[in-house]
Amino acid sequence: MAEDERILHASSSGVAATAYAEHRPDYAQAAAVWAPEPAPGPRVLDLGAGTGKLTATLVASNPFRRC
């Protein structure tokens, strides 16, 4: 994908993405602590980039772990 096309796609949500990020509730701190904990059996945590709110909560809750 060409750089100009990538920039166009990256900015396509515009105002809607900003409003969503402002009004979407934050994630529970307890969930962010629980999610990366070791567990028996296969386990997958699938994160999309989205607004970045979940990533920020995970990093704040687990500052010394790689999520």
d(CA 59, CA 8): 29
Amino acid sitting at position 36 = P
pLDDT at 12: 64
pTM value > 0.75: no
pLDDT in tens, 28-52: 888 888 877 888 887 766 666 677 8
pLDDT in tens, 18-29: 788 888 888 888
DSSP string, 3-21: HHHHHHHHTSSHHHHHHHH
More confident residue, 19 or 9: 19
Average pLDDT over residues 2-7: 76
Tokens standing for residue 41: 């059996």
pLDDT at 41: 82
